[in-house]
């Protein structure tokens, strides 16, 4: 148990270190954030501010891609982000 926790801690550290040194990651590991909902809220606020949209009327859109490895993605989208590490439970398509 402890070894798994330490592995996740090290991965979180690497994500934050990369973010500080190189700017926002191209692909965000949401599980590595302490409060991922605040990161998503910040993305929405940034897009609304840049586009002049009312924040209270904004929505979040999710799109599943065919990427299977984060290294396949070379640049961030203009608005929003690519994420990794999400799991579907009790769902299918």
Q: What's the pLDDT score for residue 50?
A: 94
Per-residue pLDDT of the chain (93 residues; tens, 9 = 90+): 889 999 999 999 999 999 999 999 999 999 999 999 999 999 999 999 999 999 999 999 989 899 999 999 999 999 999 999 887 788 776
Instruction: Give the Cβ contact number of residue 81 at 10 Å.
Output: 15
Dihedral sign of CA atoms 71, 6, 40, 86 in order: positive
Q: Please give the model's pTM, rounded to 2 decimal places.
A: 0.81
Q: Do 48 and 58 touch, CB atoms closer than 8 A?
A: yes
Nearest residue to 19 (alpha-carbon basis) of 9, 4, 32: 32
Residue 83's beta-bridge partner residues? Answer: 28
Task: Enter the DSSP assignment of 52.
Answer: T
Q: Helix, strand, coil proportions of the chain in percent (round to 5)?
A: 50, 5, 45
């Amino acid at each position: 148990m402890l070894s798994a926790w330490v592995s996740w801690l090290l991965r979180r550290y690497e994500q934050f270190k990369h973010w500080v040194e190189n700017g926002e990651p191209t692909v965000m590991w949401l599980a590595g954030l302490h409060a991922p909902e605040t990161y998503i809220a910040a993305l929405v606020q940034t897009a609304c501010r840049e586009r002049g949209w009312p924040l209270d009327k904004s929505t979040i859109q999710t799109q599943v891609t065919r990427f299977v490895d984060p290294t396949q993605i070379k640049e961030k989208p203009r608005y929003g982000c690519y994420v990794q590490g999400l799991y579907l439970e009790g769902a299918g398509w």
